[in-house]
Structure 1
Amino acid sequence: MTLHFDSDSLSQRLTTVKPSPTIAITRLAAELRRSGKDIIALSQGEPDFDTPEHVKKAAKDAIDAGATKYTDVDGTPELKRAIVQKFKNENGLDYDVPNISVGTGGKQVIFNAFSATLDEGDEVIIPAPYWVSYPDMVLLTGGVPVTVECREEDGFKLTASALEGAITERTKWLVLNSPSNPTGAGYSRAELKALADVLLRHPKVLVLTDDMYEHLRYDGWEFSTIAAVEPRLRERVLTCNGVSKAYAMTGWRIGYAGGPAELIKSMATIQSQSTTNPSSVSQAAAVAALTGPLDFLAERNAVFLERRDLALASLNSSFGLSCRAPDGAFYLFPSCAGVIGKQTPNGRVLSSDVEFATYLLESVGVAVVPGSAFGLGPYFRISFATATDRLTAACQRIGEACASLR
């Protein structure tokens, strides 16, 4: 008798969770590429630049020095001290080593925080559009994601009145992401202060701020983080960040956070029973990243800005599409409302952003992520963190696909 795994053995909680749409679309694009099709993937948020040389050298030196053993569960003292200085010098935040957590990527840090604090039924306010992983991480840790739609006319940002209306007696966390994935929208200091004023009236609500894209910014927009804007919230804020985006270190898997010492200690307990420490070599590289020169960022941001403006002009001249300029990150979030209800050359009527994204992939070989995956349609996300010539070709293809609709 052949025995099979019974799907009834899976947890009920798992049935509420979806695989990452960005990874799924990237995989589908890869499959089409392997079949011989010319696919341009604008679906994954990964800089096409290389990790800086001084960072790679630090990793090689660490290997040669034998720094390949277990480290402290949630980060080496050297890395934690570097993070303390980063927060002080760049963000005006005074943390100490016991206030710092290091994880295997920013995603683990956030997951640890939710695991350490959420009980069944606790609510987490998540402005939409949102990074695709936030709601599912809340569900996996027993919480209830409460999404609040942020309209394009509000810059895709949460307003103070919308926040006030979303808070209930079960609210445990508010999640803020600035600059945002997927829109690139960034909160001004004044906008964060307005949200902080609401939070001061609700002392039990914690704040998780995801600042992963802070160094990728355009047009003079200035980055602020809420714990620095309103110091009275400091003991309720977990300020999350990492080295993945700014330093082109996505594969090194180092995320970190600063927050209340008791929360940080509890997150370390969670991590001690999952992955234990992040890679020792990656931590050594992260020290070099955080303490080394940042002059390379200006050159890279100039390239990103050029690509942003190129793609903006092309998309805004395409039939049925419109797109606002992002303040930071490397994403565009165009509206495709103008193509909904239109007919493709093979006679199919497009009824959603998902169908439009599928049409682009199948008809012109461009992979994008539908906005509904981020909680708001009809939009789609493209990443302009790709080679300029490929981005140009992709935007031309999108324009041609739109022009073919009737």
Structure 2
Amino acid sequence: MLSGKKILLGVTGGIAAFKAASLCSKLVKEGAEVRVIMTESATKFITELTLQALSKNFVYTDTFDEKHPESIAHINLADWADLVLVAPATANIIGKMAAGIADDMLSTTLLATQAPIMLAPAMNVHMYMHPAVTRNMEELVSRGVMMIEPGEGLLACGYTGKGRMEEPETIASVVEDFFARQAKLAERPLAGKRIVVTAGGTVERIDPVRFISNDSSGKMGFAIAKAAQRLGAEVMIVAGSTQVSPPPEIPVTTVTSAQEMYEALTAVWEETDILVKAAAVADYRPKETARHKIKKSDEAFVLELVKNIDILESLGKQKTHQFLIGFAAETDELEKHAMDKLKRKNCDLLVANDVTAEGAGFGSDTNVVNIYDASGLVQSIPRMAKEEVALRIMELAAARLAGSRQ
């Protein structure tokens, strides 16, 4: 499964370091080429010789111990790796990564690499739940670092709880799944498909200086557009008001109101294979928009609102060959509201999130979502960078178009 893959294994100083020997062995047996960097504290728990024998490569511990004079070791390793896997990852290395500290061989290499990074945290339960550690992990996840969550059970310190590094077999399986996904990406499963993605929030004018809108930043929609393009699709974005710039390589139609967004989508609807409706569209608009600024008075101001066109429901009724993906931002009874929306609006998939959950609200760099189809929950995606969430959504859409029910 891992034949020819180059994995840089970082081992840090926790009691779980002994598991690194078994993990290294399993990766090598699956065909991977493994090189190991150990922190100084890791060598207190397991010897360099053990991991050298298992990996059949030099083990690196000292930034200044250059084994090959023709290259700088930490840069060479950073460029060499297809994946950097740190197992165990202590609170210390997690904190260094979050802060950008490079004071030893491993932290320096982590800062220099452009390869994907995967961490398997291991520490005392109270350390794992400490606000500083939680904040650091959230920061790393928002940057795209992958986390293999620790298990629960009896820890070496005597406490029982979350913090035990996942077993080597599980970690090896996660690594295999990662490379399997990479292989699927290389196949460009959405090649030849035309995908339209909506992003941001709509603006409904009250007068020239006031409007009704929402907190949508556009980050999720833009991430989906990039993921679709990465999978080979021809992508177009229809964007309302956003807090970030759209991907420069993808064409964008900019709109303001819900009506403008509807018109932009209907103009391309017949040629669309997949529509991802990630924009947050205002449900209501002022019945009348004042031509001039409304002046303040001593009396109460009454604003009459009328309902906007429901874009998702309207296109759901019109669809013939199109694959329709809707979004639902909820604050309670997530599944109930998501399934109701999916059925009413004739969606093929509905991506729902609780915007009150930590790391899942508007403007966040991460998201936590559940994906539903007509049969119920299809996939639950834990908190991770919006780019990774987007990729999983589009991988699922590609599989459905190909006939798979994954």
TM-score scaled by length of structure 1: 0.29
Give the structure with the higher percent strand.
2
TM-score of the superposed pair, with normalisation by structure 2:
0.29
Return the structure number with greater relative CO, CA threshold 8 A, min gap 6: 1
Quick check: which has more Rg, 1 or 2? 2
* More helix by percentage: 1
